Amino acid sequence: MTAPTATPPAEVRFPALGTTAVLLVTEPAALPAAETVLRAELAAVDAACSRFRPDSELTRVNLSAGTPVMVGMRFAEALQAALRAAELTDGAVDPTVGRAVIALGYDRTFACVRPEDARPLPVFRPAPGWQRIDWDPRTATLCLPPDTSLDLGATAKALAADRAARRAAAMAGCGVLVGLGGDLAVAGPAPDGGWRIALADDHARPAPHGGPAVTVTSGALATSGIRVRTWRRAGRTVHHIVDPATGEPAAPVWRTVTVAAGTCVDANTASTAAVVRGHAAVDWLRGTGLPARMVALDGRVVRLGGWPSEATPAGGPR
**pLDDT number for residue 213:** 86
**pLDDT number for residue 204:** 55
3-state secondary structure of 133: coil
Helix (H) or strand (E) holding 267: helix 264-277
Confidence of residue 206 (pLDDT cuts 50, 70, 90): low
Confidence of residue 312 (pLDDT cuts 50, 70, 90): very low
Confidence of residue 317 (pLDDT cuts 50, 70, 90): very low
pLDDT, one tens digit per residue, over 256-269 is: 999 999 999 999 99
Return the CATH fold of 10-304.
Answer: T-fold (3.10.520)
pTM (two decimals): 0.92
CA dihedral 91, 97, 100, 106 (to 10 degrees): 130
pLDDT, one tens digit per residue, over 136-148 is: 999 999 999 999 9
Task: Give the domain ranges of the chain.
Answer: 10-304
Strand 134-136 vs strand 141-143: parallel, antiparallel, or unpaired? antiparallel
**pLDDT number for residue 5:** 45
Nearest Cα residue to 258 out of 220, 289, 231: 220
**Residue 100 near residue 242 (C-beta atoms within 8 A):** yes
Q: Decide if pLDDT at 130 tops 70.
A: yes
pLDDT, average across residues 236-250: 92
Spatial separation of the C-alpha atoms in residues 224 and 227, rounded to whole Å: 9
Angle, helix 73-88 to helix 264-277, in steps of 10 degrees: 40
Residue 45 burial class via C-beta count within 10 angstroms: exposed 0-12, middle 13-18, buried 19 and up: buried
